[in-house]
Chains A and B, each alone.
Chain A
Amino acid sequence: MQDVRDALYIGHRSDGTLTRRPMSPHLQVYRFRLSMFLSIANRAAGVAAAAGSALGVCWLNAAAKGPESFKKVQKVTRNPLGKLALAGWTLALVYHFVAGLRHLAWDAGYRFEKKEINEDGPVAVGVTVGATLVLLASIFGVAACRSRKKKKAS
């Protein structure tokens, strides 16, 4: 036994001999709570947002490289699978943004009581879903309008 982490596992039997006590319950033992899902979802959303941002840089690079590179990228962004990835990236960014604002509020000492955190969780979910839907509808709507205008002009 090297330190207190291991030492804390050690208990006494009734006859005085030492024994190693069981480990504390693991994650699957606990009842599901929204707050625990939102916590890990923020981390997952951060990773997804980072991956999407790296792809966003590829888009930027293609625009700088020239029309042909940009056409290749458009094949991805106009493909249904590409659109799904864009939607996923948007969802991740929006949720990470919302959860980040909550974290900043907590760090400043607001809404950090258990009751308040449990009240705010469903609000965060609603805001995330609503904002994501509005954003995606506007982005795809604007894109569709623009391509229709271009068809009329040509």
Chain B
Amino acid sequence: MNASHTPRIDVMRSQLGRARGLGSGKAGVDHWWLERMSAVALVPLSGWFVLQVLRLAGAEQQDVVEWGGKPANASMLLALMVLTFYHMQLGLQVIIDDYVHGKAHLPASLLLKGAALLIGLFAVVAVLKLALAPSTKAGA
């Protein structure tokens, strides 16, 4: 804005004045709390994940199939995948809220939610296939 132009105040309302009386935003605390709770759940799951990585480092496909076929491993893996991509979506949403303004905000948020949901579903289906119907044939 150039300095020679004299600014004028048409409406002066504080952010608080605008928000007051509209009720709460409803979703803010939820988002913050769920981000923390998924983080807390991911702490032990990450520890488990590190142990599994050490078990599977350099493994061949049949080792992975054998490992993924155990119900305990598959359950932990499912919990890890669901919580990871849920936590990812919550975190990336905050980045969108911070940096994407105006009309682009809604499509960006929807794109993120869709992508997170699809990656999460893909992970779940892959774990289930590995656990229940893995392919061990060379031609697959």
Contacts and interface: CB of A to CB of B under 8 A. Distances in A.
Contacts of A46: 88, 91-92
B5 to A, nearest CB: 8
A7 interface: yes
Chain A interface, >50% SS class: helix
B93 to A, nearest CB: 12
Given A17-B6, A69-B140, A100-B39, A142 B12 contact: no
Contacts of A20: 1, 3, 5, 7
Q: Interface centre among A4, A5, A49, A140, by most B CB within 10 Å?
A: A4
Interface residues of B, number: 53
Q: Interface centre among B12, B77, B81, by most A CB within 10 Å?
A: B12
B12 A53 contact: no
Contact of A1 (B11, B18, B68): B11
Contacts, number: 133
Contacts of B62: 67
B116 to A, nearest CB: 9
Interface in B76-93: 77, 81, 84-85, 88, 91-92
A139 B85 CA distance: 24
B57 A142 contact: yes
Interface in A1-59: 1-7, 9-10, 17-20, 43, 46-47, 49-50, 53-54, 57
Given A9-B7, A20-B3, A3 B126 contact: no
A118 interface: no
B54 A142 contact: yes
B108 interface: no
Interface of A: 1-7, 9-10, 17-20, 43, 46-47, 49-50, 53-54, 57, 60-61, 63-71, 93, 97, 100-101, 103-104, 107, 135, 138-140, 142-147, 150
Interface of B: 1, 3, 5-15, 18, 36, 39-40, 43, 46, 50, 53-54, 57-62, 64-65, 68, 77, 81, 84-85, 88, 91-92, 95, 119, 122-123, 126-127, 129-130, 134-140
